[in-house]
Structure 1
Amino acid sequence: MDNCHISEASSLDDTVDGAVDDKGDPAKRSFSGAWKSAYFIIGMAVVERFVFKGIETNLINYLTGWLGESTVAAAANVNTWSGTSTLLPLLGASIADSYLGQYRTIVIASVTYILGLGLLTLSAVLTSGSSSNCKNRNKTTSCSHSELQVFFFFFSLYVVAIAQGGLKPCLQAFGAEQFDQRDQEECKAKSSFFNWWYFGLAGGAAVSYLIMSYIEENVSWILGFGILCLFMVLGLLLFLFGARTYSSQELEDNPSSGSYRRGGSRKPSPSPRFLNKALLLPGGSGEKGKACSLSDVEEAKAVLRLFPIWATCLGYGIVLAQPPTLFTKQGTTLDRSIGSGFHIPAASLQFFRALTVLIFIPIYDRIFVPIARSLTRKPSGITMLQRIGTGIFLIAITMVIAALVELKRLKTAEEYELVDMPKTTLPMKVWWLIPQFIFLGISDSFTSVGIQEFFCDQMPNELRSVGVSLQLSIVGLGSLLSTSLISVIGKITSGDGRDSWFSDNLNRAHLDYFYWLLAGLTAIGLAVYLFFAKSYIYNRSTT
């Protein structure tokens, strides 16, 4: 499916129709937009991922170690925070699209991000005295903090979540907006933008997995949070430095008013048809004294048409909640030694997921897409929905691999009679966990990138930030659903004095059962997804 709407006049004219530069003048291709501005935006996104993953990756170890929480409580807190962080973009995107605009929202959110990181660093300073007896993370019972200290830590954490809610959707939508769909070269470049966008995110995450997890676990949490705050300041400066190259869509009014630059005269889209009845209400043209405009109805249709695809991707979102929580806790029980004296942090295993993305994205963009393009005659090689479905299939395979590896870990504990010695490192190398991270990375390269492009592309231009936030909400709601699953299953399986699937003693837990359950849920979700994807009609009018 070709989403490019090529205009010969647009390709020859240096002025971008309907776009303005940072001064409010008509945007010129030779000075603004496309890759000239996208590099700065991607750079800011790389920094943001470095910072966010620097918090998220090791958060469960901070909670179970320094705050002395149980595995179930810590996993629930991490998933709740991660879920909230990726659901708040729905609010942030709505505010940006209706009131502030993407650029101003990005700047305000970045400043709030820096404030949250500063407070997080301060919270680490305030708890450093009471944490002095907690340096041995195996002795979590000796950790003691006041309720005020714990409250201040979580308050700081959620300030970061609020900031991310405004920054993440606007940054990606603003980047995609730099490419004019009516220009042939920029249209092709836009598809590559999403690939290189995710490549950049993976790069920022990979560096964070390697460096920040080590600093936080082996040097100082205060230093770790302080470094993250400094990098966020540098990221904001980089974004502001590129302001002169940015172009923005010029709107006559905000989307909430129903008055768009590209209003024009057009017919209602074919589905969902029942919403067309809103146009038959008395005076239904969206003007004074009238109920609904055509633009209002088309916005509602755009969102409703995406709902089945969004809902069937939630299983994928649940699986994405596992690497920073249960996968990481598994790693803490295995032999992480390299050589005679160095032990890699368990959280740094996620580096292999990011590394896989860094390797696979260029292969996909430079080799797979041209080959597929020659066969399908589509600029993107395969459709966005085909790309998403491939990734969902791979994520199901990931959970099968994870279940088999966990089964081996449990058998190793039993074989060496270490079941009731949870603090003893099992004679099993941590490298056994790498295959599941590799498959997760390949799946990300298909589904995460595909979802980002799909929801951004299929929403009206004026609501692209909302489209990006819908993609993020899959991860957010997936994290919250994972929290609920863990909580409910933990209570059910711990009855009658039994060890639950998520026992603090992982040698008596059954994470393998949970992974099999997730594999089954993902497979069912894939079947339903294929049903809706087959009947989905792409909205060509969005571009």
Structure 2
Amino acid sequence: MLTLSSMLPTINPSECNDTTDLTACPQPQFQAVLFYFSLYLVAFAQGGHRPCVQALGADQFDENNPEECKARSSFFNWWNFGVYAASLATNLPLNYIQDNISWTFGFGIPWIIMAIGLAIFLLGTRFYRYHIIEDKNPFAKIWKAFVALISSWQRTSFATSRNGAGEALLPRASQHTRHSGYSQHESIDEVDGQGEEAKGLLQLFPIWATCLTSSVVLSQATTLFIKQASTLDRRIGTGFQVPPASLGSLTGISAIVFIPIYDRVIVPIARNFTGLLTGITMLQRIGTGISFSVIMMVVAALVEMKRLQTARDFGLVDMPDATIPMSTWWLLPLYVLNAIVFVLAFVGLQELFYDQVPNEMRSLGLALYASVSGIGEFFGGFLVFVIDKVTGSRGESWFSDNLNHAHLDYFYWLLAVLTFIQLGLYLYFARSYVHKKNVPIAL
């Protein structure tokens, strides 16, 4: 549909009767509707494709086999390696084709590649490992689990409210299960087991919430860091100047370099000390990533302070369009740290939310992970909006159009403090987290 929308004729002002009034030209409403509908369709497709394809890939490993369990942990690393590598390999040539040759070819090439990918995927359906879903409706199972948890609390409260009233415990539980949609033949152990499953799901939400600020930190690489780069010296050699938006590829390059180092060097070394097939636990990996996000914001604040001082030293504070004599490579550590945070914290979150939800809802668990990034970016946008309004009403905004008058360093220090607080909360919840099952991850 995107390819088709780019093939339709567009407005040519020379064909209008009055070239000074483009509103008199017929508007290609169908083309606009087709184009925007295509974009929303892409978002809809991604919402279904990304969590499900990751869940299907991880399902190909037997979690009860130590060697396959180790390989499954590596799967999430190499999955993201493939995503970053594919982005770098395709974005640059496609951007060139779209800008210099044709948008039709620019959209048509991904269309053909996706069609080939779909064909390859369908050819493999006979060979994939599938997990049998015991319940037809996994959401009903989750509802039963939460009802069982409430039932367990009620029975505990009932038992403690009576002196030696243990004999009344079984009839009350049985009566509750009959009225909650359970079979009379389901034992209290089964109900208690489902209650524990519900507790496990509830434990994931504090982990989810305490990673939102790190998502805000990651989003700076595609927003404020690029705006900073536009004010710096981006020359390479004598004639070439790096476009600010291209700096985002540094995150992908850093991730491509760091993932093999982590999976093939750091994990084996950690495995020798911990005796775990995964080197460190998923929660330790996420916590380490959050720690690096604190470091990233501290470094970002220091780099911005250096940029502002350089602008003052050369008398460029009131010249927003002037290039500050400071190399854009000062931002390189930020993009490297950005990649490390993602590989440690967010790839770790992918594995955690896949592993710790009921087997029937693993794709939903990965979708819940993805919502960390989405909601985190909304939170970051709201934070910028509020700070801009508050500081702008009192004088110069922290996000002034003239970055030499702005205070991005203050914003970065604020994010560092918020992320440090988030790290403390995460450690508190992670220490009390109980895994839903005992997977044989020890050597």
User: CA 1:180/1:324 → structure 2, altered by over 3 Å: closer, same or farther?
Assistant: same
Q: Relative to structure 2, which stretch is displaced further, 182-191 or 309-318?
A: 182-191
Distance in 1, Cα, partners of 2:154 & 2:44: 33
Match 2:353 to one of 440, 448, 455: 455
The answer to whether residue 225 in structure 2 is matched with residue 343 in structure 1 is no
* AA of the residue aligned to 1:189: A
2:198 is aligned to: 300
Q: Relative to structure 2, which stretch is displaced further, 269-278 or 416-425?
A: 269-278
The answer to whether residue 409 in structure 2 is matched with residue 512 in structure 1 is yes
Alpha-carbon contact 2:152-2:195 (below 8 Å) kept: no
Structure 1 stretches lacking a partner, 5+ long: 1-114, 131-145
The answer to whether residue 257 in structure 2 is matched with residue 359 in structure 1 is yes
1:49-75 Cα offsets, whole Å, 9 max, x none, are: xxxxxxxxxxxxxxxxxxxxxxxxxxx
2:21 is aligned to: none
2:269 is aligned to: 371
* AA of the residue aligned to 2:153: F
Distance in 2, Cα, partners of 1:513 & 1:254: 49
Alpha-carbon contact 2:271-2:280 (below 8 Å) kept: yes
1:253-306 Cα offsets, whole Å, 9 max, x none, are: 2313439xxx9xx9x999996388896625156347999984864553332111
User: CA 1:371/1:279 → structure 2, altered by over 3 Å: closer, same or farther?
Assistant: farther
The answer to whether residue 349 in structure 2 is matched with residue 466 in structure 1 is no
* AA of the residue aligned to 2:181: G
User: CA 1:223/1:515 → structure 2, altered by over 3 Å: closer, same or farther?
Assistant: farther
* AA of the residue aligned to 2:369: Q
* AA of the residue aligned to 2:348: G
Cα offset, 1:505, TM superposition: 2.4
* AA of the residue aligned to 1:206: L
Cα offset, 1:190, TM superposition: 0.9
2:181 is aligned to: 286
Distance in 2, Cα, partners of 1:464 & 1:193: 15
Cα offset, 1:369, TM superposition: 1.6
User: CA 1:305/1:151 → structure 2, altered by over 3 Å: closer, same or farther?
Assistant: same
1:189-218 Cα offsets, whole Å, 9 max, x none, are: 111111211221221233356445666677
Where 2:61 maps in the other structure, the secondary structure is coil
1:163-203 Cα offsets, whole Å, 9 max, x none, are: 21111111111111111112333222111111211221221
**1:199-348 to 2 correspondences below 5 Å:** 199-208=81-90, 210-211=92-93, 224-252=106-134, 253-258=136-141, 274=153, 281-283=176-178, 286-287=181-182, 294=191, 297=195, 300-348=198-246
Distance in 2, Cα, partners of 1:535 & 1:193: 27
The answer to whether residue 53 in structure 2 is matched with residue 165 in structure 1 is no
Give the TM-score taking structure 1 as reference length. Answer: 0.66
1:536 is aligned to: 433
1:521 is aligned to: 418
* AA of the residue aligned to 2:40: Y
* AA of the residue aligned to 1:255: P
Distance in 2, Cα, partners of 1:289 & 1:129: 76
**1:378-457 to 2 correspondences below 5 Å:** 378-457=276-355
User: CA 1:460/1:207 → structure 2, altered by over 3 Å: closer, same or farther?
Assistant: same
The answer to whether residue 398 in structure 2 is matched with residue 501 in structure 1 is yes
User: CA 1:244/1:377 → structure 2, altered by over 3 Å: closer, same or farther?
Assistant: same
User: CA 1:452/1:287 → structure 2, altered by over 3 Å: closer, same or farther?
Assistant: same
User: CA 1:410/1:191 → structure 2, altered by over 3 Å: closer, same or farther?
Assistant: same
Alpha-carbon contact 2:63-2:439 (below 8 Å) kept: no
Give the TM-score taking structure 2 as reference length. Answer: 0.79
* AA of the residue aligned to 1:366: R
Alpha-carbon contact 1:216-1:224 (below 8 Å) kept: yes
Distance in 2, Cα, partners of 1:320 & 1:525: 15
- Of structures 1 and 2, the larger Rg is shown by 2
Where 1:428 maps in the other structure, the secondary structure is strand
Cα offset, 1:345, TM superposition: 2.2
* AA of the residue aligned to 2:257: I
Alpha-carbon contact 2:3-2:104 (below 8 Å) kept: no
Where 2:232 maps in the other structure, the secondary structure is coil
Alpha-carbon contact 2:149-2:195 (below 8 Å) kept: no
Identity among equivalent positions (%) equals 49
Alpha-carbon contact 1:458-1:542 (below 8 Å) kept: no
Distance in 1, Cα, partners of 2:308 & 2:333: 18
Q: Relative to structure 2, which stretch is displaced further, 528-537 or 415-424?
A: 415-424
Distance in 2, Cα, partners of 1:435 & 1:499: 29
2:65 is aligned to: 183
1:449-485 Cα offsets, whole Å, 9 max, x none, are: 2111111111111110111112111111100101100
User: CA 1:235/1:421 → structure 2, altered by over 3 Å: closer, same or farther?
Assistant: farther
Cα offset, 1:319, TM superposition: 1.0
The answer to whether residue 91 in structure 2 is matched with residue 196 in structure 1 is no
Cα-Cα RMSD: 3.7
**1:70-219 to 2 correspondences below 5 Å:** 115=1, 117-118=2-3, 121=6, 126=10, 155-208=37-90, 210-211=92-93
Alpha-carbon contact 2:58-2:72 (below 8 Å) kept: yes
Alpha-carbon contact 1:334-1:427 (below 8 Å) kept: yes
Aligned residues: 405
User: CA 1:154/1:301 → structure 2, altered by over 3 Å: closer, same or farther?
Assistant: farther
Cα offset, 1:311, TM superposition: 1.0
Distance in 2, Cα, partners of 1:410 & 1:275: 61
Distance in 2, Cα, partners of 1:128 & 1:313: 49
